[in-house]
Amino acid sequence: MAVAKTAVKKPATKATTGTGKAATKPAPAKTTAARKAPARKAAPAAAPLPQVEPIDAATLLKADHRAVDAMFEAFDDARGKSEKSDLVARICTALKIHTMIEEEVFYPALRGKIDDSIIDEAYVEHDGAKVLVNDLSTGSPADAMYDAKVKVLAEEIRHHVKEEERWLTGMFAKARSAGVDMIDLGTKMAARKAQLEADAAAAPLPVAKPTAVKLVTA
């Protein structure tokens, strides 16, 4: 997720005259667009992140992976509609939070440190999963192909997890060998995760927005 840049006010430019005196440069005339532009509202201050214990990024993300996988396995054994619906709600919330903390904190910190292709692929895999997460979040076990969507989502996530966790060549291994501060990133992600979990407990999380893939509708 892009972080809004703070606008930096530049000091007024002064020109020097032949006498050595500084002459104030006349201000440029305002353009029509500048005159008509409405005053921008200041963005609301972001809520402070909760304090959390330091944790390694791979430890945190792997624990998330195991937790989601256990829910997918539970779905395979679930028979009742309410049990399926409850599991899917938990899976979707967990995946929304997981993709957000990775995309807000982890992936941007890896840019320039590991191969871009690894990071790009991860974003596209997330976007594929988000399509099913959003669909399932508003669906019901009575819907056609509901179980198939959960099964395909599980397959997509398991593939993605392998790419991140693969020994020596996976994203986590590459990040660690590139000298990325995994404790710093893990702790930042844990704080953001705690904040998002509190949000999710209060109200359903918003739709997961694709980052790289353009959604084309007929």
Total count of residues recorded for the chain: 218
96: DSSP letter: H
Which is closer to Fe ion, CB of 150 or CB of 189?
Answer: 189
- Output the smallest distance, CB 161 to Fe ion, in A: 8
**26 vs 15, 31, 49, CA distance in Å?**
10, 15, 45
Q: Which is nearer to Fe ion, 102 or 127 (CB)?
A: 102
Asked if 124 and 212 count as a contact pair (C-beta separation under 8 A), the reply is: yes
Q: At residue 193, what is the residue type?
A: K
Write out the binding residues for Fe ion, residues 64-103 only, by CB under 5 A.
Answer: 102
Token pair listed for 162:
């392998």
Q: How far is the CB of 97 from Fe ion (least distance, A)?
A: 11
CA distances from 167 to 67, 94, 134 (A): 20, 24, 31
Nearest approach in angstroms of CB 54 to Fe ion is: 21
Compute the C-alpha angle 167/168/172, nearest 5°. 80
Q: Which is nearer to Fe ion, 88 or 101 (CB)?
A: 101
Q: Which is nearer to Fe ion, 84 or 193 (by Cβ)? A: 193
How big is the site for Fe ion, counted in residues (CB under 5 A)? Answer: 1
Question: Do residues 51 and 74 lie in contact, with contact meaning Cβ atoms separated by under 8 Å?
Answer: no
Q: Which is nearer to Fe ion, 56 or 102 (CB)?
A: 102
Strand partners, 179: none
Q: Residue 203's Cα: distance from chain center in Å?
A: 18
Contact indicator for 98, 61 with CB cutoff of 8 Å: yes
Minimum separation from the CB atom of position 102 to Fe ion (A): 5
What is the smallest separation between the CB atom of 197 and Fe ion, expressed in angstroms?
Answer: 17
Shortest Cβ contact with Fe ion: which residue?
102
Q: At closest approach, how far in Å is the CB of 206 from Fe ion?
A: 19
Q: Which two tokens stand for residue 108?
A: 């941007």
- Within 101-140, the residues that bind Fe ion by CB under 5 A are 102
Q: Nearer to Fe ion by C-beta: 52 or 124?
A: 124
Contact set with Fe ion (CB under 5 A): 102
